Structure 1
Amino acid sequence: MDVCSVKNALRLQQRDARDSMDPLTRQKASAVACRHAIEAWEQLRINRNGDKLTLFSYLSFGSEISTAPLIEHCWSQGDRVLAPRVDPATRTMELREMDQHGDIVPGIWDIPEPAPTCKEWSPQMWAQIDWVVVPGLAFDRLGGRIGYGGGYYDRFTAQVEAGKRNSGCAGPLYVSLLLPGQLLERVPMEPGDLRVDVLFTTEGSLDCDYAKLRND
């Protein structure tokens, strides 16, 4: 079976498991994982001498782990919060800055997204983002990730890397919030697939160890 077929089978399996999770269990897991993320976010603020930070996060939909506690914390601290507006025709994302819940509207497939009136961040600005919260269905300790198959975040990362070269910025840290059952031994990856840097689970934070890849 080729990698694409393995990925699709895993997507179905993981989505079914997530959809069948008790909503209260999901809510509690979201709160705990976000708490661990907030602790790391505040440590970053200390490291930056209290500067305002910039978060780019998806807006949760359906049975996804909730990003709301992290987003609300950032708003409470005066940080910049960006979220994606998806263009299915071009299969790309626009990044829009939101200041409050009132900036969120139903988008394509009723997935929440920033209103069209929200300020857009051009691709040249993306390297200034501190964290990118990446959605997914399954992850591993090497930063491997199974997304939804659209490739939006893979293409986004390629644009960020180009912006880093042009701007000299260090670029963002890629993180993910995980529900129980989403951390697997290994997920299939292809060249060009985005790997995340840090996983936040109900157990705490996990730095992904890319170095092990060289020894496999």
Structure 2
Amino acid sequence: MSEEKSRVRDILRARKDAMVPEDRLKKSLMITRHLMNIIGKNETVMAFTSKEKEVNTKPLILSLLERGNPVIVPIIQKEDVSLRLSYLRDFSALVPSTFGVPEPIGSEIPADPKDVDTIILPMLGFDRAGGRIGYGAGYYDRFLAKNPDLKKIGVAFACQEFDGLPVDENDILMDYIITEDGIVYRA
């Protein structure tokens, strides 16, 4: 399975890397609009902070903060391959950190996973059955295994869809998958 996943990741990475920055931003804004329509005004949202070639979550985070939704972001802990959580009140608190991911290092406001209603997850790829494939380190899969009751929303570009994604028992299905085309999967 891991050899197949590695092959699929290479294909999906190439698709994502082929996108031009202008298209990425335009499609990220469309994804943000779709997300804002399904996230309740009182929900506490855990959102990943995007790197360059991912769905840009800055517009989403700014929209949530403007609307008054509490926003929590993950901080990668390489030592034990886990995620530590922090509230984010100001986007400018984010600085590039582990793997180049923007994190509120030095400005942390500790958060508890029990505070999270909805989690927005990065995906390298997805299928129409709710399957998600990440980058391979398993940070989010471990977090979700410990916190199974969260509303799980995976976001990706439409070009990252892959029929028959190789998922195994450790892979947790999404409740929603959203692309620039809208909700492409709902549990």
CA shift for structure 1 position 109: 2.9
Q: Does 1:136 align with 2:123?
A: yes
CA shift for structure 1 position 184: 2.1
Mapping 1:190-205, distance limit 5 Å: 190-205=168-183
Q: Which residue of structure 1 aligns with residue 154 of structure 2?
A: 176
Distance 1:128 1:111 in 2: 22
CA shift for structure 1 position 174: 0.3
Q: Does 1:14 align with 2:1?
A: no
SS at 2:9's partner residue?
Answer: helix
Distance 1:58 1:86 in 2: 11
The letter of the residue matching 1:77 is R
CA shift for structure 1 position 196: 0.8
Higher helix share: 1
Question: Among 86, 109, 114, which residue is 1:119 paired with?
Answer: 109
Distance 1:172 1:85 in 2: 18
Distance 1:193 1:180 in 2: 20
Q: Structure 1: which 5+ residue stretches go unaligned?
A: 46-51, 162-170, 210-216
Mapping 1:28-107, distance limit 5 Å: 28-41=26-39, 44-45=40-41, 52-107=42-97
SS at 2:166's partner residue?
Answer: coil
Distance 1:98 1:70 in 2: 13
Larger Rg computed on CA atoms: 1
Distance 1:38 1:75 in 2: 11
Q: Structure 2: which 5+ residue stretches go unaligned?
A: none
Greater shift, 8-17 or 178-187, is seen at 178-187
Distance 2:106 2:176 in 1: 31
- Is contact 1:29-1:180 (8 Å) kept? no
- Percent identical among aligned pairs is 28
Distance 2:164 2:106 in 1: 39
The letter of the residue matching 2:172 is L
Distance 2:73 2:170 in 1: 23
CA shift for structure 1 position 127: 3.3
The letter of the residue matching 1:102 is S
TM-score normalised by structure 2 residue count: 0.94
SS at 1:99's partner residue?
Answer: coil
The letter of the residue matching 2:137 is G
TM-score normalised by structure 1 residue count: 0.82
Distance 1:205 1:109 in 2: 29
